[in-house]
Amino acid sequence: MIGAGAAGTIASIAARGAVDDRGGATAVPRDAPSVRLLDGAPKVGLKILVSGGGRCNVTNEAVDERDYESDAPKVVRGTLRGFPPEAVRAFFETRGCPLYAEPLGKLFPTTDRARDVLATLLDATERSGAVLERGARVVDVERDADRFVTRTDDGRAFASRRLVVATGGKSLPRTGSRGFGFELAARFGHAVVSPLPALTPLFLGDDSPLAALAGVTVPATLSLVPRGAPPDQVAGRRFRPLARASGSLLVTHRGVSGPAALDVSGAVGRAIEGGTPVTLEADFVGLVVGESPWSPFRDARKPPGASLPPALGLRPVDGETFRAAFAALVASDPRRSLGVLVARLLPRSLGDALLRRGGLDPAAPPPDPTDPARRLHRALAHVDLRAVGTDGFDKAEVTSGGVPLRELHRTTLESRLVSGLHFCGEVVHCTGRLGGFNFQWAWSSGFAAGRAAARRP
């Protein structure tokens, strides 16, 4: 095994037969294969320690393939089902690390300490009898007849009949993940999908309507749409954006951050890299518009934004609903200016900037309520943010891209090109959104690859 992160450790434990598909501990069979887990970092698990702001969002109560960007959703579904969140929960809880769920379904250790997650994982690895070698950076792998020969930077070589690559992506390189697995996969003939930073802040152009609004935080729905798509079409029920996410949006000096921005960043980066003409649209008044599974507001227990009046609360807010609600707002206070009324929905500085951008005067009276007020809705709900790029791997929580799932056998994640070679975790082209989904992929794919690697070739 190469890489002792989340995927590599669980793969080692599974290869030794020390965990079942419900997460329970099992006695290691006498004929279990020996497992050597090589990691280049002197201290392993750094990414687990920094995850979730030091609390480690281990998984999510509800996970399915729609929570991921990948090239083979059915393989993602099968892999997740093979070691689902319930198994992850049982894995940690039966080994002394109980978890609790936040209202939106994110699971954390009850101690809120990522180091307890790491300690549980390393303890289970050791108990399984897998040999963990720290500070053993793999620099080369050769295929020699029916064996792999894995060489480390201290001059050692290890022969094995199977090899599991769990080297992570390129995000946060100081934790040891520098993209070696991508190079290795490419060398063995895999058509690696170009690795790009994901779950990372977005850069906006100087002409963005949010320029000069640094510090504003507001709930929003972001949609990545083909450039030039008519707003009426985008607002339609049948329209499927390239990516969509709802959540808090934080305006920074260079662009936007916060869950909504992070969740679409992978798709934005890939579109820009591929030269696809796209527009990143923000809807500041239709928080739960659409049926996006990416919406963190699926669970109505959490109020999505205190600045929204009850009329625009938790229900989907389409153009018609907005217009009716705004007309009621105008009727309740007919002498107020447009800017003052919009300030009941949005921070004043943002509302004024959006109105001006939409050719509306904040100081003027609101549009006649009998008017459909389309211009107002368009100014607040179809805002071209002028996205120009994403922040780099230093800021990214994950790497999008990697070894395509269609080049791996389903259920075993073994290469279709090189028998005995398995991939799992972030090195695979499967990227989750915020909320524990990336660790869940690491646990599920690690379990699948590890268990399969234990089988005799």
Ligand X SMILES: Cc1cc2nc3c(=O)[nH]c(=O)nc-3n(C[C@H](O)[C@H](O)[C@H](O)COP(=O)(O)OP(=O)(O)OC[C@H]3O[C@@H](n4cnc5c(N)ncnc54)[C@H](O)[C@@H]3O)c2cc1C
Binder to ligand X among 91, 92, 180, 203 (CB under 6 A)? 180
* 219 near ligand X, judged by CB under 6 A: no
Contact 372, 351 (CB under 8 A): no
Binder to ligand X among 18, 35, 51, 405 (CB under 6 A)? 51
From the CB of 407, what's the least distance to ligand X, in Å? 17
Contact 439, 2 (CB under 8 A): no
From the CB of 55, what's the least distance to ligand X, in Å? 7
Stretch that binds ligand X, among 19-27, 34-42, 72-80, 231-239 (CB under 6 A): 34-42
From the CB of 158, what's the least distance to ligand X, in Å? 12
* 2 near ligand X, judged by CB under 6 A: yes
* 28 near ligand X, judged by CB under 6 A: no
Burial code (b: 16+ CB inside 10 Å, e: under 16) for 138-158 equals: beebeeeeeebebebeeeeeb
From the CB of 435, what's the least distance to ligand X, in Å? 7
Binder to ligand X among 13, 56, 90, 345 (CB under 6 A)? 56
Nearer Cβ to ligand X, position 41 or 224?
Answer: 41
Q: How many residues bind ligand X (CB under 6 A)?
A: 37
All residues at 6 or more sequence positions from 291 whose CB lies less than 8 Å from its CB, including other chains: none
Q: Under rule CB under 6 A, which residues in 344-403 are in contact with ligand X?
A: 397-398
The Cα–Cα gap between 57 and 51 comes to 7
All residues at 6 or more sequence positions from 241 whose CB lies less than 8 Å from its CB, including other chains: 223, 224, 225, 234, 290
Counting Cα atoms < 13 Å in the Cβ hemisphere of 85 gives 20
Burial code (b: 16+ CB inside 10 Å, e: under 16) for 57-96 equals: bbbbbebebebbbbbbeebbbebbebbbbebbbbbbebbe
Nearer Cβ to ligand X, position 7 or 256?
Answer: 7
From the CB of 362, what's the least distance to ligand X, in Å? 39
Phi, psi of 344 (to 5 degrees): -75, -20
The Cα–Cα gap between 2 and 425 comes to 11
From the CB of 345, what's the least distance to ligand X, in Å? 31
Nearer Cβ to ligand X, position 168 or 269?
Answer: 168
* 8 near ligand X, judged by CB under 6 A: yes
* 3 near ligand X, judged by CB under 6 A: yes
Copy the structure tokens of residue 255. 């662009």
Which residues are at the interface with ligand X (CB under 6 A)? Answer: 2-8, 38-41, 44, 47, 50-52, 56-57, 137-138, 166-168, 171-172, 176-177, 180, 397-398, 425-426, 436-439, 442
